[in-house]
Amino acid sequence: MNNVYIISPSYLIKKKREFTAGVRQLSKLGFNVLNPHFPTMLPSPQEKADQIHHACADTGTDMILALRGGYSAMKSLPFIDFDHLRKHPKIIAGFSDLTALLNPIHERTGMVTLHAPMLVSLNAPTAFTVGSFMNAVRGYPEKNLFHGAPVKVYRHGSAAGILKGGNLVTLTALIDTDWEMETENSILFLEEVDEKLHKVDRALTQWILAGKLKGVKGIILGDFGGLKSREVFQILASQMELGIPVVHCPHIGHVPDKITMPVGAEVELDTRKKQLVIRKLELPGVRP
């Protein structure tokens, strides 16, 4: 896997030097950026979808990587041709606002997508982030996604399911739309940034009232941008019976040390071993 196509599904990078640094870092990691031109105009929702269509159809593209997050990726959902993506499978990677694309694309095409660093995240990445990202694009030879990461257990247990999740507010915004995430039989991971506790409380309460957590097999709380993970856990524990494993891993989210999570992979969460192990995964274009 060598060729990377950069898309702008959310917002733009304001400083060209950050864009250049990200391209340079990808080059150091052995990737070739096919379109290394600094974007200065935000695409329309249709144009954002067209970027994805073009990158998928390009036989020279190995991975589609988001420029950055922010907001507005969900506006492109009505314009995405999921049949086209299914016929031309590519790795699609990003996080934060990209959560709005990663989960629907998996659910509608069967492709595993990557909750991963974006170009802006790679301008000065930590060794941990690079190691996890490279492990991902190589097909996850290291199967334990929590390898080298701290894990705090709130409810012990073990469970298997399909790994889904990402940014809490973004996923909440998709509830009661055509692109609402299916949570049945999932191992759900959630993260957030720059939100007060009462807003996280409101979002999680909506999930509970909407029945979105009833079929979940396990919950992974990532970083919540300065909020204490126990506070987030208590929002859940105070409103529902948690008979499933619940853990906190701070290396998921808007953090320097970031785990690249395969959305759509079959995984097993074991709190006694503090492991999240891939049981089954097929990445587009990557041999296991």
How many beta carbons lie within 10 A of that of residue 272, not counting itself? Answer: 10
Which residue is catalytic, options 8, 10, 76, 96? 96
Which residue is catalytic, options 107, 115, 191, 229? 191
Active site residue 156: no
Which residue is catalytic, options 115, 248, 251, 254? 254
- CA 30/CA 28 separation, integer angstroms: 5
Active site residue 191: yes
Active site residue 27: no
Distance (Å) of CA 98 to CA 32, 76, 140, 167, 226: 22, 11, 21, 8, 21
Neighbour-count burial for 100-130, b at 16+ CB within 10 Å, e otherwise: bbbbbbbbbbebbbbbbbbbbbbbebeebbb
Distance (Å) of CA 171 to CA 3, 14, 19, 72, 155: 30, 26, 27, 13, 23
- Catalytic residues, by residue number, are 96, 191, 254
